[in-house]
């Protein structure tokens, strides 16, 4: 079972780049890594997914080292509306959400 | 598409009562998941279905919890009898193909309060 570990919270300021790292030491060969964003009173929403190396979309980048035991979600130039909880999900044979990282973006 | 639909959005009940939560997945999605979210335990997978068949219910906390999916467009999560520690937000999610590798689409959740 691939347990994931994330920082509980992070603070940032508008316009800065934010990097949130998730540790998943027991990741299995067929596990993908997915990140979700959750606002209060809403369900989690997909941000990005990857298997190895680097993935980039219009909202974020995901960096996965060769050993795949961790992954880093990178949010470029955050704004106040990026204040949310970010979850790392390792999926394959089992679905394991991390505890979530509460990101607070300050003006 | 309206997305994943859950009802009710809020439920307040008394200990010992039966509670039924409902979910309508996105049409065409083969997988359906039920999650529970609390401050203490975060987001926990309770059970998931593939083509209406329960595949893994190892996350269901105890026998008081049961889930069914009688057809591709409807699922229920039932708690009988309910207890105060069942108070949480329950999410339903669906995904089209490969479990876990495809994006999960979450519903808005049902906030359950058991007094």
A58-107 confidence digits (pLDDT tens): 999 999 999 999 999 999 999 999 999 999 988 765 566 778 999 999 99
- The predicted pLDDT at position A42 comes to 92
> CA distances (Å), B110 to each of A62, B69, B70, B83, in order?
31, 17, 20, 16
Residues of A in contact with B108 (CB under 8 A): 41-43
Q: How close B54 gets to chain A, by Cα (Å)?
A: 14
- The predicted pLDDT at position B99 comes to 54
Q: pLDDT tens, B70-88?
A: 999 999 999 999 999 999 9
> Stretch B18-39: mean pLDDT, rounded?
94
Give yes or no for A49 touching B (CB within 8 A). Answer: yes
- The predicted pLDDT at position B7 comes to 97
Instruction: Please provide the distance, in angstroms rounded to a whole number, between the alpha carbons at the two ends of chain B.
Output: 36
Residues of B in contact with A39 (CB under 8 A): none
> Is B109 in Cβ contact with A42 (below 8 Å)?
yes
> Is B109 in Cβ contact with A43 (below 8 Å)?
yes
Pairwise CA distance, residues A29 & A16, whole Å: 34
The secondary element (H helix, E strand) that includes residue B91 is: strand B88-95
Evaluate whether A91 touches A44 at the Cβ level (below 8 Å).
no
Give yes or no for A81 touching B (CB within 8 A). Answer: no
pLDDT at residue B69 greater than cutoff 90: yes
- The predicted pLDDT at position B100 comes to 54
Confidence of residue A41 (pLDDT cuts 50, 70, 90): confident
Q: pLDDT tens, B97-108?
A: 765 566 889 999
């Amino acid at each position: 079972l691939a347990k994931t570990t994330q920082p509980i919270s992070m603070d940032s300021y508008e316009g800065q780049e934010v990097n949130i790292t998730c540790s998943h030491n027991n990741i299995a060969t067929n596990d993908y890594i997915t990140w979700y964003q959750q606002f209060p009173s809403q369900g989690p929403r997909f941000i990005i997914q990857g298997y190895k190396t680097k993935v980039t979309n219009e909202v974020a980048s995901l960096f996965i080292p060769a050993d795949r035991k961790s992954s880093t979600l990178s949010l470029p130039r955050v704004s106040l509306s990026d204040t949310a909880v970010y979850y790392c999900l390792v999926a394959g044979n089992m679905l394991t959400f991390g505890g979530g990282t509460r990101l607070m973006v300050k003006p | 598409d309206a997305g994943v639909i859950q009802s009710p959005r809020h439920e307040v009940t008394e200990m010992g009562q039966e509670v039924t939560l409902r979910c309508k997945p996105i049409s065409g999605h083969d997988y359906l998941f039920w999650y529970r979210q609390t401050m203490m335990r975060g987001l926990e997978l309770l059970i998931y279905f593939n083509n209406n068949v329960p595949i893994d219910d190892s996350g269901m906390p105890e026998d008081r919890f049961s889930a069914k999916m009688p057809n591709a467009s409807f699922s229920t999560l039932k708690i009988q009898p309910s207890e105060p520690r069942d108070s949480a937000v329950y999410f339903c999610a669906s995904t089209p193909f490969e479990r876990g590798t495809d994006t999960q689409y979450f519903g808005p959740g049902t906030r359950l309060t058991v007094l």
